Structure 1
Amino acid sequence: MQYPLIEKIGNPELLVGREKEFRIIDKWLSLIPNRMSKSKVIVARRKSGKTVFVQRIFNKLWSDPNLGVIPFYFDIAENQAWYPDFAIDYYCSFASQYIAFIQRDEQLVNKPLSLKKIREYGLANSNELLVDDVDLLLENQEMGLHDSMWKTACHAPHRFAAVLKTRFLVILDEFQNITQYIYRDEKCEGKPIESLAGSFHSLSESKIAPMLVTGSYVGWLLQVIAKYLEAGRLKHFYMSPYLTQDAGLQAVYKYAEFGQEAITNETALMINQLCMADPFFISCVIENQYEDKDLTTADGVINTVNYEISDRRSEMSETWNEYLQLTLDKVNEKYAKSMLLHLSKHADRYWTPKDLKEELGIDLSIDQIKKRLVQLSEGDLIDRGVSDIQFKGLSDGTLNLILRNRFEEEIDGFAPDLKDVFQKQIKTLTSENSKLRGLLYHQCERTGDYSA
C-alpha cells in the first residue's frame, strides 16, 4: 500500500475500523471498469472521517493500477478564488494526478505541474489530449472566455476516460463550497457563482468517470445537489461518525501509542465508553492540552473528557461551536435553542410543531415554530421525518453533550453536571467488566483451561 496523497489523519495506522463502509465502497469501485457504478455522495456530519475515507480510497486505487481506475482528488477549499484561476487550478491538479498515476510518480500528487510543464510532458509523450487542452485553456484565457476554460477543466476526466478507453474516479471534497467561493470578478467582489455546481449536472451521470462527493454541511450539500444536479443523480452513502466498540478501542490504543500518552487497559475502555467510540472525540481527549491530564486513572479520564466537552478552548468545543454558530446566527433566540436541546434529549421519537408548542409552552404560532425547525434541520442539527411536520433530534451522543453544556443552564436554569454523568457510566462499565471476568473465571474452572 502506497500513500502518495498525504492523508489528513496523519499516520495511516490511525484509520481503524470502517470495514463495513470499505466493503460497500470496494464493491462499488470494482464495478467502475464495467460502467456499472453511479456517482455517490457521502452523507455524514462534520468530523465523521469523510475526508480521510475518500483520501484512503484514492491511495488504494493509486497503489493498484490493475484495478483499472485512475483516481482524481480535489478539495474545494473555503478560499475565495477568481474563476479562471480556479479552472486552471482544477485542471492542473487533474492532469498532474493523471501523469503521476501513469508515471508512478508520487511527488506529482502533492505538487501539481504548471500548464507549461503539462504541455511539455504532453509533447514529450505524444499525448495530444494534454497539449490540446493546455493550448485551449491559454487561448480562452487570453480571450477572456472563462466559461470555456472551466468547461475544458471540469469535463477533462470524462473526456480522457472516453478517448483513452480507461476509467477515472472524480473525488470532490467539500463540494458545497463551489457555490460560495468562486467569483467572476478578479478581486472576488460581488456575488460568487452559485450555479457553478450545475457544471457537473451531466458529468454526475458519467459511468466512465463517476463522482464521489463529500461535504461537511449535510443540509447545505444536499440542497446544492438537489438544485443543480437533480435528486437521484448521486446515490446517498450514509456514514456514521461512530466506530464499533472494538474499532473504537483500537483507535484509543493507536492514538495513545502515536501520541505517546500513557493509558491502562482499564482506562482505555473508559475513554472508549465516554467518547462513544467516536474517533474524533477520542483523538481530542488523548491529544488535548488539559494541564491536569492523567489518562491512567478513572478520575483523570473523567476530568479530561469533561474538559474537552466543557472548555470553550478545547478542540472539540471549538469545532462544534463553529458548526452550531452557522445555524444559530440565523435562529439565535431562546425558543430555537430550547427546541434543539429538547429534541436532542428525546431523540427516540418524532415531534411536530404542535407537540413542541404544548410540551415546551412556546409562545409562537405553529408556522413560526415550523420555520425555526426547518432552519435547524437545514443546519444539520435535527432530522426531518417522512411528513413535512415531523422533526427529530439527531441520535448523536457527542452533539447531545455539547448542547447540554452550552444551553442547559440558559434554558433550564442550572448547569449540567457532566462529571456525574461520566462517573455513572464508568461505574456501569466497571460493574459489567467485573461480571464478565467472573463468567470467564467460572468457565475456566469448568474446563480447566486458564490460558484466556
Structure 2
Amino acid sequence: MNLNKQSNQYPLEEQIGKPDLFVGRIKEQEKLWKWIDDIENKLSKSVVILARKKSGKTALIQRIFNELWNAKGKVIPFYFDVAEKNVWLPNLSVKYFRTFASHFISFIKRDIAAVNNPLTLNQIKEFAKSNNIDALITDVDYILENKGNQGDHDGLWETAYSAPHRYASLYDLRFLVMIDEFQFLSTYVYRDEQCMTARDETIPGSFHYHVESKVAPMLVTGSYVGWKISLIDKYLEASRLSRTRLNPYLTSEEGLKAVYKYSEAYNEPINNVSASLINRLCMSDPFFISCVMKSEYENKDLSTEDGVIQVVNYELTDRNSWMSIIWQEYFDLSLEKINHINAKNILLHLTKHNNRFFTPYEIKKKLKLDLEVQEIHKELIVLAKADMIDRGVSNIDFKGHTDGTMYLMLRNRYEKEIETFAAPDIMHNSPDLTIDFQKEIQLLKMKNKSLKGMLSNISGQLAEYQLAFDFKTRNKFKLSVYFENIKYKKILSIANVSIRSTVRKNVESEMEFDVMANSDCGRLIIVEVKKTKDKIGIKDVRSFFQKTEIYSKRIKEKIIPCYLALGGFTQKALSFCIEKNIGYATEINYVQKEW
C-alpha cells in the first residue's frame, strides 16, 4: 500500500531512513521557520536545541537542511555531524571545511551528489577558480599547506570554523550552520595524531565569537542536556544562544500516524485497534514506536492486544533489545557521577511523582533516607545538572521530568535494586510492566466507549490512514460496513489501496483522490475525506462527484464514489449523495465494533 507521494528531493541522506517516516513536529518546524525567515534580515540569534537522546533532534534539523536546499532561497544550509569517535584536529578541520564548501557548492550548482559525498580540496579549488571565488581558493591553499604534522593547526581550524561567517560577510550571503551533537567537540578532538594524550576540550570555545553571527547563525544540538548546558555556560556564554527544548513525544494524532508509517515501512501487519494500542503504550514516542515495529521479539504479533503488550514489554525489559541498549547507554553517561543507590531512589521517586515539586526535606522524610538534608540537596543539584530532573524557581524545589518512557526504563532498571537495598532479607521481583499496560488498555477502552465514534475528533488526513489501513487489513468486506447508501451489495476483495493518489485530469492539469481501493471484481472505490468545522455543502460533494465522472471515462473499472465528512453534511449535500449513488458517512465508528 502506497500511503504517500514524494515530490521534493532529499539531497542529505536522512538518518530516519525513508523521508516519509518523518512525522509531526509541526509546532517545532513553524517556530524554526519563523527564525530562519529572519536570517535574511540579520535578525536571528543562534539557537541550541536541548533534548535527550533519540528525541528527534537529528531528524528535525536534517529535514530543515533538505527543505532549505529545495527552497532555493536566500539562506544556504550547512549540516555537520560531530562523530562520537576520536579525531585529530587537522583531520576535523579538513572534514569540516570540505563539508561546508561542498554544501555551499551543491546549493549553487543544484548538485545533490556533493551533499553526501564531499568534494576533495582540489575539486573545491577548481570550482572556485571557474566561478571567481577568491576566498575559497585562498582557504584551500592554506589548508593544503597546513594540514600536515608541521602545519599551523590552530590557523587551520580557524579557517574551517570561521568560513561560513567570513563568506557570508564577504559575498553578502546568508548561511545556516547546523552542528549535530555539538558536545562531542569537547570530548573526542585531539592535538596528537594518535589521539592518545592531547585531548583538547576547549574546541567548543572556538565558536565564542561566531555564535553571535547574524549572517551565519548556528543551530546546534546535543543529546546529553546537562553536559551541553555546561559547555555553553563555560565556553560560549549562556546569553549568546537561545535555548529551545524539544519534547521527545509527538501529539497523540501524530504518534498514531507514525505507527501506520512505520508499520508500512517495516511491512509489519497491524490493524486500527492494535495501532491505537501501540501508540498508547509507546506514549506517542516515535523512537519507542520504531523499536516496537522492528523488534526481534520471537513470535511477534502486533495485530492482537496480547501481542502488542508482549512486544512493548520486551523492548523495555530485555537487555538485548535496541530500546534497552540505547537507554542504558544514556543512563550510564548521564549518571556516571552519581551512580549509587540513593541517587537512583531519588530519581525514580521524582520521575514517578512528576506532577509536583519536592524539597530535600520532603524527600528525606518520604524515602526515609539515611542522609542529611544538605547531602540530599547536593544529590538533587547533581541530578539536575545531569538533566535527569528539573529545578524550580526556589533553590530547594526539584521535580521529575514528565517523561513516561524514562520512568518505565528507570523502574525496570533500578526498582528491584532499590527495594533490595532497603530490605535485603526479603525476596524482591522485577516490576511486571504488563500489569501497567493492561490498565492503560482498559483506560483506552473506557475512553473509546465514552466517545461518539472513536475517531470523530481526528484530522481528515489521519482519517485517510485509518480508512486505508482498515480496507487493507479487512481485505474482504461489504462497503456498507463503512458507508450508507451503497447499492453494490457483494463482498469486495481488495487488491490494492493508496492514499493521496494523483491522476491526470487533462493535458494541463491533475486531480487528487484521498483514498483509492481496487477490488478484484473490477470496482474502484474512491473516497473523499474531509474534516471541517462546518458541515460539508453540496458544492464540495458535487466537485468530488465531477472528478470521479471525469476519471471514470479514462479507466475500465467501475467507480464507487464515497464521501466521509467528519463534520457532517448539509441536507442538500446529503440529498445529492443519495441522488448520485454516493456512499456517505459522518463517523468512523466501525472501529468501535472491534473493541
**TM range, normalised to the smaller chain?**
over 0.9
Q: How many residues align?
A: 448
Q: How does 1:60-99 map to 2 (within 5 A)?
A: 60-65=67-72, 67-99=73-105
Match of 1:296 in 2: 303
Counterpart-to-counterpart distance in 2, 1:17 and 1:242: 10
Q: Does 1:234 align with 2:249?
A: no
Match for 1:417: what amino acid? D
Is residue 224–residue 334 contact of structure 2 (8 Å, CA) maintained in 1? Answer: no
Match for 1:78: what amino acid? E
Deviation at 1:136, TM superposition (A): 1.6
User: Higher helix fraction: Structure 1 or Structure 2?
Assistant: 1
Counterpart-to-counterpart distance in 1, 2:135 and 2:196: 34
Q: How does 1:44-443 map to 2 (within 5 A)?
A: 44-65=51-72, 67-141=73-147, 143-412=150-419, 413-437=428-452
Post-superposition Cα deviations, 1:156-211, rounded to whole Å, max 9, x if no partner, equal: 00011011111000000000111111111111122421111111111011000000
Counterpart-to-counterpart distance in 2, 1:309 and 1:80: 31
Is residue 39–residue 210 contact of structure 1 (8 Å, CA) maintained in 2? Answer: yes
Q: Which ranges of structure 1 fall in alignment gaps of 5 or more residues?
A: none
SS across alignment from 1:73: strand
Counterpart-to-counterpart distance in 2, 1:296 and 1:35: 52
TM-score (normalised: structure 1): 0.95
Is residue 91–residue 147 contact of structure 2 (8 Å, CA) maintained in 1? Answer: no
Deviation at 1:291, TM superposition (A): 0.6
Q: Does 1:30 align with 2:37?
A: yes
SS across alignment from 2:238: coil
- Larger deviation, residues 411-420 vs 130-139: 411-420
Q: Which ranges of structure 2 fall in alignment gaps of 5 or more residues?
A: 1-7, 420-427, 457-481, 483-566, 575-583, 588-595
Match of 1:2 in 2: 9
Counterpart-to-counterpart distance in 2, 1:193 and 1:345: 39
- Larger deviation, residues 8-17 vs 119-128: 119-128
Deviation at 1:437, TM superposition (A): 4.2
Is residue 94–residue 147 contact of structure 2 (8 Å, CA) maintained in 1? Answer: no
Match for 2:334: what amino acid? T
Is residue 161–residue 167 contact of structure 1 (8 Å, CA) maintained in 2? Answer: yes
Deviation at 1:63, TM superposition (A): 0.5
TM-score (normalised: structure 2): 0.73
Is residue 326–residue 379 contact of structure 1 (8 Å, CA) maintained in 2? Answer: no
Match for 1:236: what amino acid? R
Counterpart-to-counterpart distance in 2, 1:407 and 1:189: 35
SS across alignment from 1:392: strand
| Deviating 4+ runs (over 6 angstroms) | 438-441
SS across alignment from 1:56: helix
Is residue 408–residue 414 contact of structure 1 (8 Å, CA) maintained in 2? Answer: no
SS across alignment from 1:214: strand
- Larger deviation, residues 125-134 vs 366-375: 366-375
SS across alignment from 1:213: strand
Counterpart-to-counterpart distance in 1, 2:187 and 2:35: 31
- Larger deviation, residues 34-43 vs 139-148: 139-148
Is residue 78–residue 100 contact of structure 2 (8 Å, CA) maintained in 1? Answer: yes
Deviation at 1:438, TM superposition (A): 6.5
SS across alignment from 1:9: coil
Match of 2:498 in 1: none
Match for 2:447: what amino acid? E
SS across alignment from 2:78: strand
SS across alignment from 1:34: coil
Match for 1:62: what amino acid? W
Post-superposition Cα deviations, 1:306-334, rounded to whole Å, max 9, x if no partner, equal: 11111111111111111001233322221
1:347 to 1:451, Cα distance in 2 relative to 1, 3 A:
closer
Counterpart-to-counterpart distance in 2, 1:165 and 1:287: 47
Structure possessing the higher relative contact order (Cα contacts under 8 Å, 6 or more residues apart): 1
Post-superposition Cα deviations, 1:206-252, rounded to whole Å, max 9, x if no partner, equal: 00000000001011011101111101111012210111111110000
Is residue 52–residue 248 contact of structure 2 (8 Å, CA) maintained in 1? Answer: yes
Is residue 50–residue 243 contact of structure 2 (8 Å, CA) maintained in 1? Answer: yes
Post-superposition Cα deviations, 1:382-439, rounded to whole Å, max 9, x if no partner, equal: 1122233222111000001111111112223443221111011111111221232479
Counterpart-to-counterpart distance in 2, 1:329 and 1:44: 19
Counterpart-to-counterpart distance in 2, 1:330 and 1:205: 33
Question: RMSD value over aligned CA atoms?
Answer: 1.8
**Rg larger in structure:** 2
Deviation at 1:23, TM superposition (A): 0.8
